[in-house]
Amino acid sequence: MAEQKLRIKQVRSVIGRPARQKRTMQALGLKRINHEREVVATPQIKGMIEAVKHLITVEEI
């Protein structure tokens, strides 16, 4: 069974956001606006995406 991958892209700044959201963005590997990462869609990653969904865009690969 192939693992599902997601492409996440930061579209909004973390300036002025709570520290928890900033740490979540760091954990996802996003460092700046327009930075993209490909991640495996695990339950942990999906939870982090849900917590900062207003700062990122998500696309299935």
Where does residue 28 rank: exposed (0-12), middle (13-18), buried (19+ CB within 10 A)? buried
Global pTM value: 0.89
* Pair of tokens at residue 41: 């869609």
Q: What is the pLDDT of residue 1?
A: 57
Which residues touch 4 (CB under 8 Å, ≥6 apart)?
40, 41, 60
Q: How confident is the model at residue 29 (pLDDT cuts 50, 70, 90)?
A: very high
Q: What is the mean pLDDT of residues 35-61?
A: 96
Asked if residue 35 lies in contact with residue 4, where contact means CB atoms within 8 angstroms, the answer is no
| Domain carrying residue 28 | 5-60
Cβ atoms of residues 37 and 28 within 8 Å: yes
Number of domains composing the chain? 1
What CATH number did the domain enclosing 23 receive? 3.30.1390.20
